[in-house]
Chains A and B, each alone.
Chain A
């Protein structure tokens, strides 16, 4: 246990103001379009106070809570993924002199304003760590992602409100975030909040993760907490973990998917899967993109855009002669095998953080946990500990 502080509800506004005064663009949960999404937080009133959610396979409902909690909901419909990795961005702009055949290119770079993440769940925090590895920790990096990620300040929230679709506890990614990023050994957050709300209390137990976090905590004059406060925070996340009913057995899933390549299950899933790409759009770790060249009618002014793509689309695998994954069953196999098996070979970690969004936002309620369990059962490679 490190430095513990106590934040009262009015202090949350002070924290937001302090971060903005320090030059951060604060991004956190806010209500938009009947859902909680990640958006800009300018004042405490931008937070979804008193709002909750119901998430089930193929169902998302924004609800009114009977309390005044700030973080009384599960995974927002949109994670922090687009904060650093927008769905569409310009990579460069070019201009051609049609008569001469020359062209010039000017690279676009993102605004350098640093981001403060506020209220980021442990699942989504882990997803950012995964993207740090995938997009900025290999031979080549996504220059735009890396620029946006510089100097990020993280105010994480330990999750006390898992949805029915959540399974972070089984993935080892929550509901309380690990103190350090397992890949880099660096602190995972600057500040960590656990919201304590019962008949008598409403406050946040604030844990300090970095020196930078301590400076901010000092600046807003957060009161001191103690062992008991910390114990109360741990109780909340322990209870949240116990409430989760879905689980993937991470000890066997890599081998199960390797062995399931010719499984008859794919055909069965394809009778339900619409290949709509929703799961890949809401997934906080999906990173596939395509390139779109946009030009004016004369073809002399051009922009190159990098946009999110999905392995569920037919053209994703297209080469001259046709798509290589023509059938939906091949595309679902690619997606789940990548998340739960190949990702480990590629990056030394699983590509699923257990946020449950793909279950919630699948229009027909295909459940990655259920499919993993069924593939495990059919392969006969389960450890016996897996739920089925």
Chain B
């Protein structure tokens, strides 16, 4: 029997490659160059990259969208944008908060200021937090999950008076892993945000709450009849949070989650991020729990 792997397409002449226009052609597979202006260390393993465009104007994006960040010669990873959606108009850098867990993220966070990296995007759906105008808003998140949610929180705080109660329920593994701690304190003090924090594990003598963030939902002070919830974290945590929110009386359609999957293209072509019929890079990453519930409750779907 012939081995299918050796039967390459009969291709003597080949498809001659010809270099053409540079990266400003609008091909979404070709990165735009951004220069790293600053790398801020947030926790022991988490860093925020500040980026300025090298060619073209600032990137306009919607809260919840992600980009593909490319460390030259190393590779590319999908990372949610963590900056203020209004920042582009004010000349603010493009912000991504990254956990240093792999070869690409290590190269990104260790790059000295001035280094150029490749950026494709923005891609994907938005939290569309302003759908909650007139009601209460509950953000539930854990660990670095706060980073993709931050633009949505900033959307709400930009027009704080249009919303009822705003709650931020945040969990982290240990007190050392708390992300954006100073900023959460400011949101609580200046923006009337009810911030509740909990940690999974704490050293002896820790004064704060210990336990899972999802356990805060049952007693959180919001009106489920007029509330929206935005949840971001590990999949098990999101499933538990969404379930607890629905138990409180929120309709699943008013609970939005941001899903993480392997993504190679960001534009619905590579197939990696499929969750049954959903391409999470273009149909998501933000989707409501009404759509996601049947997909999240099957193992390895």
Contact = CB atoms under 8 A, between A and B. Distances in A.
A325 B10 contact: no
Contacts of B20: 106-109
A316 B9 contact: no
A111 B72 contact: no
Of the candidates A33, A82, A104, A107, the one having the most CB atoms from chain B within 10 angstroms of its own CB is A107
A324 B280 CA distance: 14
Contacts of B265: 289, 291
Contacts of A89: 15
A366 to B, nearest CB: 15
B300 A35 contact: no
Interface stretch (B73-81, B152-160, B183-191, B208-216): B73-81
A182 B73 CA distance: 43
Interface string B19-38: 11111010111110101000
B282 to A, nearest CB: 6
A143 B277 CA distance: 23
A104 B10 CA distance: 33
Interface string B263-300: 01101111110101101001000000000000000111
A39 B9 contact: yes
Contacts of B300: 324-327, 330
A287 B217 CA distance: 42
A106 B27 contact: no
A130 to B, nearest CB: 14
A261 interface: yes
Interface string A298-316: 0110101010010100001
A175 to B, nearest CB: 23
A114 to B, nearest CB: 12
Interface residues of B, number: 65
B271 A311 contact: yes
A24 interface: no
A261 B28 contact: no
A67 interface: no
Contacts of A345: 276-277
Interface stretch (A90-98, A201-209, A212-220, A221-229): A90-98
Contact of B10 (A39, A290, A295): A39
A138 interface: yes
Contact of A59 (B1, B23, B29, B301): B1
B258 to A, nearest CB: 13
Contacts of A282: 4
A94 B72 contact: yes
**B interface majority secondary structure:** loop
A135 interface: yes
Interface residues of A, number: 83
Nearest to B123: A140
Nearest to B29: A91
A77 interface: yes
Nearest to B14: A111
Nearest to A306: B29
A40 interface: yes
B7 A37 contact: yes
Contacts of A242: none
Of the candidates B17, B102, B265, the one having the most CB atoms from chain A within 10 angstroms of its own CB is B17
B10 A139 contact: no
B30 A92 contact: yes
B176 to A, nearest CB: 19
A325 B298 CA distance: 11
A316 B245 CA distance: 32
A102 interface: yes
30 contacts: A34-B2, A35-B2, A38-B10, A60-B1, A82-B9, A90-B17, A92-B30, A101-B112, A102-B33, A107-B30, A135-B269, A139-B268, A140-B268, A143-B29, A282-B4, A287-B269, A289-B271, A291-B75, A291-B265, A291-B270, A293-B74, A293-B76, A299-B72, A309-B270, A309-B272, A318-B262, A319-B262, A326-B300, A330-B301, A346-B279
Given A140-B267, A309-B270, 6 more contacts: A32-B7, A102-B33, A109-B18, A317-B272, A320-B101, A342-B274
Interface of A: 25, 30, 32-35, 37-40, 59-62, 77-78, 82-83, 86-87, 89-94, 96, 100-111, 134-135, 138-140, 142-143, 148, 261-262, 278, 281-282, 287-291, 293, 295, 299-300, 302, 304, 306, 309, 311, 316-320, 324-327, 330, 334, 337-338, 342, 345-346, 361
